[in-house]
Amino acid sequence: MTEKIGFIGLGIMGRGMAANLLRAGYAVRVWNRTVSRMTPLLELGGTAGSSPADVAAHSDVIFICVSDTPDVQAVVLGEQGIVHGAQPGALVVDHSTISPAATQEMAAALAEKGIHMLDAPVSGGSEGAAKGTLSIMVGGEAAQFARAMPMMQAMGKTITHVGGHGAGQMAKLVNQILVVVTMQAVGEALLFAQAGGLALEKTLTAVAGGAAGSWMLSNRGPQVIARDWRPGFTIDLQQKDLRLVLEAADQLGVPLPATALVFQFYRTLQQQGLGGEGNHALVKALENLAGFTIGGERPLPA
Ligand code: NAP
């Protein structure tokens, strides 16, 4: 029997993911705190829930994609939360990026009621959510991973079971360390190239195919040169993820000096009102230190 699906949180990511489940033929009951955001999903054939508990009462598998740790806690364990509607045997799949430790606590609280949970944060941006090409990093029991797999295949391309509860969130934080420290290197490299009088586009072409090549360099490098700060992922959300990384590193006793530095650079940009710009605007913090801009007036060599 096909499982009935619920989807909670229809923001930039959730709306594309829920739409792909509907297009794959699943019956989906949706709920969003701001009710008007449900309309496009209802037009695609979804039904409207009145609360997370109501969605859970009508669903076998309940997907979540909301902002931060307290938001997931509210929709799972709050007054109108999933826990008050879900039947024993139901499965909760959380696609938000949140604290690994809080995830383990929630999974334990749900298990007491016979409700399963997978943490399944995603990477790939709004474009990946809309196209169904997300990378999904999953923590939890193998049997529940197998159960959710056909549904996750409607939303993602690279779907990996990385371990027990919280392991999916840990893998996502690993992803975020790599993203921001790489972006810091891209910014320093472009600033250095600028000061040396190199043609920036040509320099990118020269290095992108070698050992220094990366997704951030090839995709965000040209955006930096064009001074196009439109967000695929905003500084504010990136900073939320770095806060989660540094909290987890603190609990584990692991030094992450480069990630901590980038966190402080992003903070200076937030203070300048740039939190809504794309995460590649990190280079602006370096430009502030250097006193010149990439793609701008080039300083004369000393
Ligand atoms: P978004 O567009 O800001 O949407 C956030 C969603 O969460 C909205 O539906 C919002 O409801 C809901 N929400 C927030 N707090 C809530 C609460 N306390 N109770 C109920 N609903 C609440 O964010 P997004 O870009 O879709 O991101 C969602 C998650 O995916 C985040 O954890 C983010 O880090 C992660 N993510 C995002 C990207 C990306 O490129 N955007 C990529 C990978 C992962 P309202 O509509 O009422 O505000």
Q: Hey, which of 72, 237, 244 would you mutate to test ligand 1's pocket, going by the most ligand atoms within 8 Å of its Cβ?
A: 237
pLDDT digits (tens, 9 = 90+) for 75-98: 999 999 999 999 999 999 999 999
**Strand pairing of 122-123 and 61-64?**
unpaired
Q: In terms of Cα–Cα distance, which of 77, 71, 61, 72 is closest to 28?
A: 61
Average pLDDT, stretch 158-178?
98
Q: Which residue CA neighbors atom 39 of ligand 1 most closely?
A: 125
66 lines ligand 1 (CB under 6 A): yes
Q: Which residue CA neighbors atom 46 of ligand 1 most closely?
A: 34
CA of residue 14 to ligand 1 center, whole Å: 7
Is 172 known to be catalytic? yes
Q: Give the dihedral sign, CA 280/213/178/11.
A: positive
pLDDT digits (tens, 9 = 90+) for 13-31: 999 999 999 999 999 999 9
Q: Between the CA of residue 287 and those of 56, 123, 125, 196, 293, what are the distances in Å?
A: 49, 28, 26, 15, 5
Q: Given this model, what pLDDT does residue 8 score?
A: 98
Q: Which residues contact 42 (CB under 8 A, 6 or more apart)?
A: 30, 48
**Strand pairing of 5-8 and 61-64?**
parallel
Written as one letter, the residue type at 62 is I
| DSSP letter assigned to residue 300 | P
71 lines ligand 1 (CB under 6 A): yes
Task: Say yes or no to pLDDT of 1 above 80.
Answer: no
Written as one letter, the residue type at 184 is Q
CA of residue 65 to ligand 1 center, whole Å: 6
33 φ/ψ angles, rounded to the nearest 5 degrees: -55, -45
| Strand runs labelled E in 9-124 | 28-31, 47-48, 61-64, 91-94, 116-119, 122-123
The domains located in the chain, with CATH, are 5-164 (3.40.50.720), 170-290 (1.10.1040.10)
80 lines ligand 1 (CB under 6 A): no
130 lines ligand 1 (CB under 6 A): no
90 lines ligand 1 (CB under 6 A): no
Find out whether 165 and 103 touch, Cβ atoms under 8 Å: yes
The proportion of the chain whose per-residue pLDDT surpasses 70, expressed as a percent, equals 98
Q: Given this model, what pLDDT does residue 301 score?
A: 53
CA of residue 12 to ligand 1 center, whole Å: 7
pLDDT digits (tens, 9 = 90+) for 270-295: 999 999 999 999 999 999 999 999 98
